[in-house]
Chains A and B, each alone.
Chain A
Amino acid sequence: EVQLVESGGGLVQPGGSLRLSCAASGFSFSNYEMNWVRQAPGKGLEWISYITKSGGTIYYADSVKGRFTISRDNAKNSLYLQMNSLRAEDTAVYFCSRGEVPAASFDYWGQGTLVTVSS
């Protein structure tokens, strides 16, 4: 069974940092691109980052570019999101999701982890 489990969320002050993790199981992690998507309270879905199977190609949404860093460790079946210079508007539930081929749709999602940026 495919499972994605996020962790690392919590309360952080503006300007602070947080590292999210996504543990994957039930599939060959190294064969899939991965994504982070977030959802602010009461708002819609916002794609924020994507990483290819090898980690060789990475994209970010403009809203997080220069502040967030996506990475993966295929040996540990894990995806990461390092979030720096956090702002109140980064408050959201953060989901990791698997990118399916060939349509690149997001076929499996984790349950999400809540990040709250507040003083």
Chain B
Amino acid sequence: IQMTQSPSSLSASVGDRVTITCRASQSIRNYLNWYRQKPGKAPKLLIYGASSLQSGVPSRFSGSGSGTDFTLTISSLQPEDFATYYCQQTYSPPRTFGQGTKVEIK
């Protein structure tokens, strides 16, 4: 299953609303997860099951979608959110990641 994220990168300002999309090459039901990775650090789980917020993750993060099309939304971008975001399907192996979306400071 191929996972395609868009855009590959974006520039935004603190306080902006940001949306990242992820498309699967076939239906993955809701087996879609989102991670944030800062440089030199391990990824951090933000959203699992397409729309469930991982414990301890701020409520400005939300996820939606099912089947093949999914969205990660950050309602108000914070300084710590400038990072790279990855979607991942866990519907079937191989548990593929998207290519990543880098969120940079405008």
Q: What residues of chain A have their CB less than 8 Å away from a CB belonging to chain B? A: 35, 37, 44-47, 50, 59, 61-62, 95, 99-100, 102-107, 109-112
Q: A44-B100, A95-B42 are in contact. Are A103 and B33 (CB under 8 A)?
A: yes
Q: Is the CB of A109 within 8 A of B43?
A: yes
**Complex Cα gap A44–B45 (Å):** 15
Nearest A-chain residue to B46, judged by Cβ: A105
**Nearest Cβ on chain A to B12's Cβ, whole angstroms:** 20
Q: Is the CB of B42 within 8 A of A105?
A: no
Q: A103-B31, A105-B33 are in contact. Are A59 and B93 (CB under 8 A)?
A: yes
Q: How many A-B residue pairs have CB under 8 A?
A: 65
Q: Is the CB of B94 within 8 A of A106?
A: no
Q: Is the CB of A104 within 8 A of B31?
A: yes
Q: Is the CB of A103 within 8 A of B52?
A: yes
Q: A103-B31, A107-B45, A109-B42 are in contact. Are A45 and B100 (CB under 8 A)?
A: yes
Q: What residues of chain B have their CB less than 8 Å away from a CB belonging to chain A? A: 30-31, 33, 35, 37, 41-45, 48-49, 52, 54, 84, 86, 88, 90, 93-100
**Nearest Cβ on chain A to B20's Cβ, whole angstroms:** 14
Q: Is the CB of A45 within 8 A of B43?
A: yes
**Complex Cα gap A59–B100 (Å):** 23
Nearest A-chain residue to B84, judged by Cβ: A44
Partner of B95, one of A62, A100, A104: A104
Q: Is the CB of B97 within 8 A of A105?
A: no
**Complex Cα gap A47–B65 (Å):** 23
Quick one: which of A35, A44, A110 has the most chain B CB within 10 A?
A44
Q: Is the CB of B97 within 8 A of A50?
A: no
Q: A44-B97, A44-B100, A61-B94 are in contact. Are A106 and B43 (CB under 8 A)?
A: yes
Q: Is the CB of B48 within 8 A of A107?
A: yes
Q: Is the CB of A104 within 8 A of B86?
A: no
